[in-house]
Each structure stands twice: as structure tokens, then as C-alpha cells.
């Protein structure tokens, strides 16, 4: 039996606005991000009022995700359960650099080595494959703990995109094409593993 995972990306930060790659840098939400968190909380609370039940809420330990999750947890009467597996990709030496440049480098590697590019790590960081593995392990645990239920998962753009790709049977090389917007939510079915 599958669980419905409601994937929610954190609100905007100043680094998002400036086009800098955050990775696991611990950046706070800016005013726009705080407003997005409140809007997401109101939307989820309205769904709960209409009968949508949420069994649990899990979130990344990074501040921007925690701020977004905590705004929602309070409105829904849930506790935000911290799970380190939900952190964003660690981009090592590339953290704090130009986001568009990082994405362009990744896409170029995918053109050059489509079977290997998503396995490569930035100096001092993780690969997309590493992130996809830990995110899938977390999703497996949530589906096993809450079969048939809706579970909120607050995380980060690339990390969530790996789950979207896996749930839809997509190639991980397309991960940057499936990053949700700040404060955005997407629902995927995640099967309970035997």
C-alpha cells in the first residue's frame, strides 16, 4: 500500500533571490519566504479543514526548511520531526557560488556522460545519486510507518526533485527539471516496500 507524500519546499531565502547555490549552508528565510511559509500553512490547514488528514510531518534540520515546517506544524497540530536525510545536497566547494553556473555544469556533464554524470560529486560534496539514495530511504521509512496515509515532507529543491524523479520513473539526470518552487507542494505516491 502506498503513502501519499506531500513534498513541500522551503520558502525563499536571500540566497535564492541572489541566485546562489545554498546546498547545506544554513540560511534563514527572508520576508518573502516567511510569507510563503504562512501561505503554505494556511493552504494545508484549509485542506485539513476540508477533511484531508495528515499522519505526520517530517523536515530537514536546515533552518529554512524548519522555519517553513514549523509554521505548518502549528496550524495542523503536528510535531515537526527532524530527519537529517532530508537535507539538501551538499555541494562542497560549490556552495555559495552561482546557482545557474552549477546547473549548467551538471547539464554539461549529463550531455558528456549521461550514465555517470549524476554520480559525480562536487569537491567536498555529494552526488545526486547520494542524495537520491538517502531521500528514498527516508521515503521508504515514512511509507512503512504510515501506509495509506498522507505524510508531509519539508525539504529542499534538489532533494525533493530526486523523489519526484524516482516516483515517476524518471532519469535522475533530469533532476533540475523537477525542482518545485519555493513554498510549493507536490504530492507523489510512494509504495510501501516489502
In a 3-state reduction of DSSP, which class is residue 111?
helix
Centre a 10 Å sphere on the Cβ of residue 162 and count the other Cβ atoms it contains: 26
Q: How far apart are CA 117 and CA 37, in angstroms?
A: 34
Q: How far apart are CA 50 and CA 7, in angstroms?
A: 19
Q: How far apart are CA 136 and CA 158, in angstroms?
A: 13
Q: How far apart are CA 174 and CA 125, in angstroms?
A: 19
Helix, strand counts (H, E) of the chain: 6, 5
Assess whether 88 carries a catalytic annotation: yes
Burial letters 94-111, b for 16+ CB under 10 A, else e: bbebebeebeeebeebbe
Assess whether 186 carries a catalytic annotation: no
Indicate which residue of 31, 49, 88, 126 is catalytic: 88
* Catalytic machinery residues: 10, 88
Amino acid at each position: 500500500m502506498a503513502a501519499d507524500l506531500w513534498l513541500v519546499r522551503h520558502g525563499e531565502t536571500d540566497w535564492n533571490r541572489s541566485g546562489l547555490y545554498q546546498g547545506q549552508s544554513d540560511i534563514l528565510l527572508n520576508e518573502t519566504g516567511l510569507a510563503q511559509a504562512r501561505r503554505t500553512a494556511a493552504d494545508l490547514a484549509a485542506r485539513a479543514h476540508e477533511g484531508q488528514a495528515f499522519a505526520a510531518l517530517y523536515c530537514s534540520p536546515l533552518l529554512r526548511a524548519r522555519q517553513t515546517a514549523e509554521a505548518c506544524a502549528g496550524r495542523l497540530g503536528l510535531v515537526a520531526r527532524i530527519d537529517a536525510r532530508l537535507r539538501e545536497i551538499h555541494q562542497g566547494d560549490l556552495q555559495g557560488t552561482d546557482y545557474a553556473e552549477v546547473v549548467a555544469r551538471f547539464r554539461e556533464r549529463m550531455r558528456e556522460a549521461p550514465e555517470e554524470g549524476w554520480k559525480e560529486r562536487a569537491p567536498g560534496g555529494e552526488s545526486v545519486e547520494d542524495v537520491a539514495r538517502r531521500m528514498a530511504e527516508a521515503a521508504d521509512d515514512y511509507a512503512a510507518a504510515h501506509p495509506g496515509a498522507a505524510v508531509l515532507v519539508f525539504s529542499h529543491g534538489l532533494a525533493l526533485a530526486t523523489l519526484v524523479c524516482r516516483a515517476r520513473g524518471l532519469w535522475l539526470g533530469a533532476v533540475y527539471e523537477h525542482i518545485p518552487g519555493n513554498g510549493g507542494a507536490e504530492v507523489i505516491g510512494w509504495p510501501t516496500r516489502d
